[in-house]
Structure 1
Amino acid sequence: MSALPTRLRPLAAAFALVTCLATPATSTATARPNSPAPAADCALPGKTGWTDEGHDTDGTRFQRPGGTHRVLTLFVDFPDARATDSTDAYATHLAPAADWMRRASYGRSRLALSSLHRWIRMPADSTSYGFERDLTFEAHEKYLRDAITAADPHADFSRYDMVYVVPTKAAAAITFSPTYLYDPTTPGVTADGRRIKWAVTFGQDMWRWGHKVAAHETGHTFGLPDLYSFTGSTHRYAGGWDVMGNIAGAAPQYLGWHSWKLGWTRDHQVACLPGTGRRTVRLSPVERPGGTKIAVLRTGETTAYVAESRRPEGNDQHACSTGVLLYKVDSATPTGEGPVRILNAHPATTPPTGCTQLDMAAYTPGQTFTDPDTGVRIDVLTGDTGGDTVRLSKG
């Protein structure tokens, strides 16, 4: 799979995030027998000032992950790329994203998709907006502003939380699908008395990725980072696990860590070992609601190992491997540089057609992961249709 375009980055001033949650405790604690540590002891602080794996997501800059998100979809064409087809096929293409997000969030996040079924003529040619070059924050905001301004006579934007902008297939110059996150230090884009804070401007790659591109880009508005690599081999860190990596991956269900960060997985569903000690945990598959979703072994201020159970069902019905997925999280690692790194239990396995080697990463009963540098050991003890049992040890 070819690399995705480099993720759009706003100006440096736009990266300053306000910490809105207390900084979690560091990993100096020792787990007490018969007294499991609270989940908060394993929550990591964000350190990048942007989308990352920290739990202290800025609630004023990023969209709340829970509840109903009212989304208006606009369809745009251009003086140099005029639409000749109906908007219906475009709306139908993205519509499954609503059910996908509902399943992924255990019903805690819903996309209420509405469409303005008419072509909105943009004031400038498609080639003038910079998608074929290094798209800047300013150029991206201008594109969104032009779309909102042109559509304003036909829509009441005060009724919506977010906007999707979909170009005609004739606009080959609108190549990729960046997320717009507003910069509170600038006037931004407003319509009908409402600041447009979050938007996805789709490109022609939406026809390649399918409706899950909406789940990926909307995930950024919640504060999630990119798990694919901005340099080198594109999917070397996370493979096809989590839609924030390979959108077309075989197991796109959000990682349990992401579900916890977004509040879809509750604290009582997280087993935490914040320091030295041992803890045995029964995990319920992340594709299903209920049960303990992740076991977290904290190793430092910004680092942890996570174990979760994966099964080929729900959003992961085409998963290439099943069992316990282990990965390392670092909330100080920037988006696109491997903030999550999947640990491969089967590095020598030849994957079947349609799967990559990292897609075969799930651990099975009898397998063990150790990290001599941190004294971490994770044993997979049992596994069945109901989930998996793991033992975390440190020190």
Structure 2
Amino acid sequence: MITHLALAVALTLTPVPHRQAPLSQCALPGRTGWTDEGHDTDHRQFRKATGVIRAVMLFVDFPDAPASGSTQEYEDALTPAAGWLRTASNGRARLAITPVRTWYRMPSASTTYGFERGISYEQHQQYVRDAVAAADPEVDFSAYDIVYIVPPKNAAAVTFSPTYLYDPAAPGVIADGRPVRWSVTLGQDMWRWGYKVIDHETGHVFGLPDLYAFTGTDYHRFVGGWDLMGLISGPAPRYFGWHQWKLGWLDDDQVACAVSGHYRLGGPTRLVVVKTGETSAYAVEARTRTGLDDKACSNGVLIYRVDSSVATGEGPIKVMDARPDQAPAAGCHQLDDAAYAPGQVFTDEAAGVRISVTGEASVEVERLPIARNM
């Protein structure tokens, strides 16, 4: 049973010295064989998320959708993604985008690649192969990690922006003597999402799953607008602290593997993890209306459940709602006001965990007898 209680007495608790486990005990193993929340990311298939990430941006048009004008508008719209990622990664990921300012003609019509039908892996790979082949006489692809492929506005059939991930067991797309491991093929939804679609899709290159729901009617019922891997246009899109730790953007000494006791957030400790099972844990962090989250719908302590056995699009992270019975403000999703305020308490009796918010950036973690047959 999970409960959300507002207890004023939490403010008067005497802080209990905390007990911690080795941090390695809170690093969950991946169990899906694909993008997930595990820490054991296979870097043959996914790019490490630190250092300089070299990307080439190609502009392609089609026999049925020829481009008009220069590529400058497209470059201006998308390249700010590099600055956003640098800030979001605490300066540890530096996306260096090299635009090739010419339109390369694809050999097939825009309608033949299958975007309007969801596009298969084989169709997507062919799209990447055709774009790379068109540019290969002029571009040394061995100098780049990622290929961004941008269509013109009149290519209406190229509807959305999927990420192509290399399969180490298959030959894939070869250019300049090596495989093209990662590509983001932009679609017309880039004009809806803006440059942050690059940051979202590059998150998949790093091994992050989608946090929005693939089924149902409320696609943002798992995390609302709290992470770019959920709602790209969300009011608080900075990556979760869990993602920052997983990707190497937080140092281990900034993360606490909590057993019990009092923890302060936002100083030396940016993330508190309370493990609840082999592949599950609660993560706790402070979020405020500053920086990339300046439009956040609530301030306070964010509590969310992570399960590295849950597949992309099925809720590998779920935000706990501090105000489940309160309607959110206009323009905010139900979960966007989910941050806990001082005096509120989160309890998961089935997992034997209670987290009391004792200040704007401090919590008390308690282990409870695990309830049976709830």
- Tell me the TM-score normalized by structure 1: 0.87
Secondary structure of the residue that 2:75 maps to in structure 1? helix
Secondary structure of the residue that 2:245 maps to in structure 1? helix
Q: Which of 325, 328, 353 is matched with 1:376 structurally?
A: 353
Matched letter for residue 137 of structure 1: Y
Equivalent residue for 1:267?
252
Secondary structure of the residue that 1:298 maps to in structure 2? strand
Secondary structure of the residue that 1:219 maps to in structure 2? helix
- Shift in Å, 1:38: 2.1
Q: Which has the higher contact order (CA 8 A, sep 6+)?
A: 2
Query: Closer, same or farther in 2 for the Cα pair 1:208/1:259, shift >3 Å?
Result: same
CA distance in 2, matches of 1:138, 1:48: 21
Secondary structure of the residue that 1:299 maps to in structure 2? strand
Equivalent residue for 2:344?
367
Secondary structure of the residue that 1:153 maps to in structure 2? coil
Equivalent residue for 1:334?
311
Q: Does residue 279 of structure 1 match 2:261?
A: yes
CA distance in 2, matches of 1:191, 1:86: 26
Deviations 1:211-249 (A, max 9, x none): 110111000010000000000120000100100000110
Q: Does residue 97 of structure 1 match 2:74?
A: no
CA distance in 2, matches of 1:352, 1:367: 20
Equivalent residue for 1:183?
167
Equivalent residue for 1:12?
none
- Shift in Å, 1:118: 0.3
Q: Which of 200, 217, 238 is matched with 2:184 structurally?
A: 200
Equivalent residue for 2:10?
none
Q: Which of 312, 320, 324 is matched with 2:289 structurally?
A: 312
Deviations 1:69-90 (A, max 9, x none): 0100000000000001210010
CA distance in 2, matches of 1:228, 1:356: 13
CA distance in 2, matches of 1:291, 1:252: 22
- Percent of aligned positions with the same letter in both sequences? 58
- Shift in Å, 1:349: 2.2
Q: Does residue 292 of structure 1 match 2:269?
A: yes
Deviations 1:303-332 (A, max 9, x none): 111110001111111111010000001111
CA contact (8 A) 2:18 2:261 kept: no
Q: Does residue 355 of structure 1 match 2:332?
A: yes
Matched letter for residue 272 of structure 1: C
Number of residue equivalences: 351
CA distance in 1, matches of 2:36, 2:77: 29
Deviations 1:154-206 (A, max 9, x none): 21111111100000101000000000001111111111122110010000000
Q: Which of 226, 244, 248 is matched with 1:241 structurally?
A: 226
Secondary structure of the residue that 1:329 maps to in structure 2? strand
Q: Does residue 39 of structure 1 match 2:23?
A: yes
Report the RMSD for the aligned CA atoms in angstroms. Answer: 1.1
CA contact (8 A) 2:41 2:207 kept: yes
Secondary structure of the residue that 2:168 maps to in structure 1? coil
| Structure 1: runs of 5 or more not aligned | 1-32, 285-289
Q: Which of 365, 369, 373 is matched with 1:392 structurally?
A: 365
CA distance in 2, matches of 1:40, 1:314: 30
- Tell me the TM-score normalized by structure 2: 0.92
CA distance in 2, matches of 1:134, 1:169: 19
Equivalent residue for 1:218?
202
Equivalent residue for 1:70?
54
Query: Closer, same or farther in 2 for the Cα pair 1:85/1:245, shift >3 Å?
Result: same
Deviations 1:27-74 (A, max 9, x none): xxxxxx876322111111101111001111111110011001010000
